[in-house]
Structure 1
């Protein structure tokens, strides 16, 4: 017998009736009860017996005269008899499935196997009777002449038989009513099918019946149609507007709208008119690229129209792209303008190549066929047109300030911005480029505490933080693409900055102390000047009254004239004369003192 553990009960019973499965190999058990599983096999004296669940889970191993060895999951809830019968206790729904007995003759090694199916039944709980139309307080209102189905939901219980009743009478007798296990189908339902319905479920140990469900068949709103006033397609997003109109047969019909199955969202572009039977969308956008439906309702039923999907068009989000990518000895030329609806027509032109496709065109050529200043042209056509050109040349840059001078300690910046060949009037795009910076010591630079490099496909910037004088020299920026390499040279001159100011005294004088010192100094100068005046005056008086030993005092001018912002100061030069020429005392000649102008 094969493995039947995945087949429902009714299938097994059907197979048994057809003779495909022997009922002798199907055992039934009740949750919480016990069951004896038996397979008729030859039992040699020297045998090894094993029972397995679903062919892989070992339950027990037994030898004649020895104690059976039970696995941990089955200890205490099963027993192996000498005749190889297996008793399972405390049955659970998880025990349902296929069980295999294998008997091995240890004398010659021959093994014989057999399988049985165990079905576990529980006392049935009431099923739930459901209908495929909306219900209110146990009442359903199916529409006349529609397909209606009832489902007797047993919640996964093992059920052998389902029976449907209308007003207590079997409901499957009409030719347009089909009962298929747990489903009843009205094909279609009629006005005479109004009534109270129940369903009954049965298994070998119990049965149960659902709560009643009331069906009231009603006339419906019919002929719901949704139309659009669009005269041409597609409608271009952001530019076009459209009116959707919902019509239906019936009385007192109201309308509601849905987009992709959900209620129509609030949107300032959506305008409901004519008692909600018309929807104006102005302008349409990409988000309107879904299924619109309208539902017509009255007091007895509702009907939803067939979905209407707007045919929308939009341009690609990005500009058309020109690319050239090297791969070994080849170059792949690419023109791309994706994302539009409908797809854009894109044309690639290169030398004698002219090819048009949707969204993207690529062409592979040999590198040897690409010459400096060749160009790739791409043209895209959709709602609008775009074009681009890609110049195939080594990097070109305009470096207006290759010489940089900075003070020591201040940052220095050098920048390379690639440009296309300005001689071409159409200003083509340029190839992506990699950049390498080299210092005056021929060392390749990288980001760190001293340097910061910011590079893109088309520009690069080197920042030197707090350069020293010895950082002066020639810096190089090597720019390279698959067409070649260009080197841009910069000269950096780092100048030594002004000397640092002297350190401030640890305890600077206060403003009051400084004022006191100044006042004191001025008072001292005034006293000295007064003293000199009286000394000079007294000396002149003595000179007139003395007859010998006169002293001569002359005033020496330090400066001939008073200059701007200068103070004119005179100093006294004191000399002595002997009254008696004959008694000259030897006097050491003193050199005349020289004075400088004192500037205030």
Structure 2
């Protein structure tokens, strides 16, 4: 073929390239996913006729009934639904999309599984000791940790899972209310305790306990339990001035959260009189009186017969009956 000068035959070659594509992984949840709930991950791609493989932390997705995979035939896209969600589902998820010519790995999506605290509600607590009281707010066991705030008498303490504050018994209290507030991922809880000084609706300061010397009397003070700080107890004997009593020797003091007792072994007349039990917490103190009357063995015996006297009476009665029988016998014999 003869070429004409200045004439060029150009051949147009057409090359069809796959469009630049991105395989993207998204979720229907933002942030933490609650344990026991459900979450869906969406994998979309621009690859045609794509197939999908799911990975977690670089490994193939494990088998299990909680994993549900759906591939949209009109997509191409794939959905991974995890229901129910467990703590071990925490990890970094990716989607691998591929066809006969191309393949692509999606961006990583981190799944964080949240667990509520062990108790459904935040807990307010107070524990009394010798010279101080421990106040506390507790809402632990969750993931992530709950934000906890303690408020008492105008002071605020904050922390994770729990907050405690030690208050001296000499601490001046103007607002006797403990408030605990918790927040975990927007779920909140609150509790309150309004404290009062130690009180006892059942105690009678005029009551008298009567015993005989040698016995083991037990004096008891029982407090109202609702809305009360755990107090400290102190015992005294008025002679007439208060004399402190502690455990040891003849005395045994036992105290709990709402009750205290004084046991006196082999009580003597010198221990007769009025006793005081002082219950104290950071709100205030209350004095309870307990009157003990100790009778002597002699005075006690005058009011009731002794065993020897009773035995003498019985013997006398038996002898009298016998005498009557004998006299009656002789009278009958004489008559007849």
TM-score by length of 1: 0.30
TM-score by length of 2: 0.49
